[in-house]
Structure 1
Amino acid sequence: MLKTGILNPAINSLLSRVRHTNTLVIADRGFPFWPQIETIDISLIDDVPRVLDVLHAIRANFVVGRAFMAEEFRQKNFPATVDSFLGALQGVEVSYEPHVEFKRRVSQAIGLIRTGDTLQYSNIILESA
């Protein structure tokens, strides 16, 4: 029985299948569904859990080479919110692109973890190193 780290078996399985340069999406509650990729829905209620919660949890055992976010994230959120994401991604190159372009990357991901986050454009694509 797992006692520490990620306890969710579906997320553990998904993370185990991500290889070098594969991508993983962590999304907010309203993010569209892509039938061609595995989606693990861990939303419970508004803002539980948040994208940042999942990001912090997986960073311990997931080597992130690059991250992608929507430009709109920086435009629609307070600087402190943007800084909290950059802090969680310390040492990782973060590329911002229009949300339409961001969504084009999703279909190539190994999987998507849907959270209960209500923060606008808080979706993130992580590329493994």
Structure 2
Amino acid sequence: MYQSKDGILRDPIDKIYYSRMHERMQTGKARRLMKLRQGTVEPVIGRLINYLGMKKVNTKGIAQANKCMTMAATAYNLKKLLRYAGGPKVVAKAQALITKLEHYYSNLLKNIFHTTDHCIVYYHNIK
């Protein structure tokens, strides 16, 4: 309900959809699925927001935001893997993966800086 300019209380346009969804969420199946989601998905999102700095994704575009979320999920899963299955083999595999990721990102940064150096050199040659 909302109050219009003339002071009359009116139902919103989408009230039909809200009431239909409310009825659907009162079924046993919906309650089971909601409890399952609250126990699996929402704690992960809460940890990403509170402990891994994902309150705000500072990128432009869906593709870049997906990359940020993928990296945050990878970090979360690695931490969880090391915490719960932290035998020597698992630790060695995780360290190897971290080394590969560091190598990949250092090469990526080198390529970015190389292309910007090339652009700067090219720009200076134009003058």
TM over 0.5, shorter chain: no
- Return the index of the structure with the highest Cα Rg: 2
TM-score (norm 2): 0.19
Identify the structure with bigger relative contact order (alpha carbons < 8 Å, sequence gap 6+).
Answer: 1
Q: Which has the higher helix share?
A: 2
Q: Which has the higher strand share?
A: 1
TM-score (norm 1): 0.19
